[in-house]
Amino acid sequence: MDYSTHLNVARRAAEQAAARIRYRFEGHLEGQDSAAIGLEIKDDRTPVTIADKEAEELIRAAILDAFPEHDFYGEETGRSGSESEFLWLVDPLDGTRSFVRRYPFFSTQIALMHNGKIVVGVSSAPIFEETAWAVLGGGAWLNGKELAVSKVDTLEEATISTGNLATLAGSDAWQGLGEIVRRVQRNRGYGDFYHYHLLAAGKIDVVIESDVNILDIAALSLVTTEAGGRFTDLAGQHIGIETRSVLAATPSLWGVVREML
């Protein structure tokens, strides 16, 4: 199936959301307090701002205007519809805590799942002026440049980046992560969208996270795999609606790291 129309709609929606998020962030940098950005704490103890809500409204309208029969699952509005073979997965502002603290590690994540398989992904980082996108079978791109993971195949040459690790820290795999960190050339903690963009561009080699949800990583999983990488959860399972962790790496390193964890 040709998903080019779906990709174009997703990219336009991401651009609209980016413009609104930049506007809100620039005002926040100029001194707006929590009340001015509409900061609230949700029932799950995560923050939400007016930027999250406005961005999701824009994305939802753009997608459902183009594909009214599709299902939609958004971070702020939840899931609507359960009959379509197409499901849009949207986190309008992934990294709200970063937004609130006035540092730019946040992004808009838009993915399309068709019959349970992720087929379109767009990852837009408005302050970095980066947009990565991919279509199943069509490669991965960042600002128009084709992406490819590195050819690094030993831990001693590798750079690893870790994100949220609270669950991993309480598991038996923590010791394995310590051994990985001891052996690699560099360890970093870029977090959120950024280390996946770097991985897909061949600039780092492994990403590990133990506390995510599908809306955070659906688009990024497709960008990574279309760039030639391998992207699963920490147990080695394929990405799906219930995914809560990530092991993403070059093909050569994925198995090495999985075994050590």
Give the CATH number of the domain where residue 43 resides. 3.30.540.10
- DSSP conformational letter for 146: E
Give the count of domains, the chain: 2
* Mean of per-residue pLDDT scores for the chain: 96
* Structural domain includes residue 129: yes
User: Residue 160's pLDDT is what?
Assistant: 98
Q: Does the model's pTM come out above 0.85?
A: yes
Report the pLDDT averaged over residues 190-204: 96
Residue 43, pLDDT score: 87
* Cα 83 to Cα 70: distance, rounded to the nearest angstrom: 8
Are 200 and 95 within one domain? Answer: no
Same domain, 130 and 233: no
The confidence score (pLDDT) of residue 35 equals 67
φ/ψ of residue 43, rounded to 5: -60, -30
Residues 9 and 124 in one domain: yes
Residue 160 forms part of a structural domain: yes
Rounded to whole angstroms, the Cα distance separating 199 from 149 reads 6
Tell which of 138, 167, 197 closes a domain: 138
Residues 11 and 78 in one domain: yes
31-80 residue pLDDT tens: 766 667 888 999 888 999 999 999 999 999 999 999 999 999 999 999 99
* pLDDT of 82 above 80: yes
DSSP state of 70: S
**For residue range 125-134, what is the model confidence (pLDDT) as tens digits?**
999 999 999 9
Look up the domain containing 90 and give its range: 4-138
Predicted confidence band of residue 93 (pLDDT cuts 50, 70, 90): very high
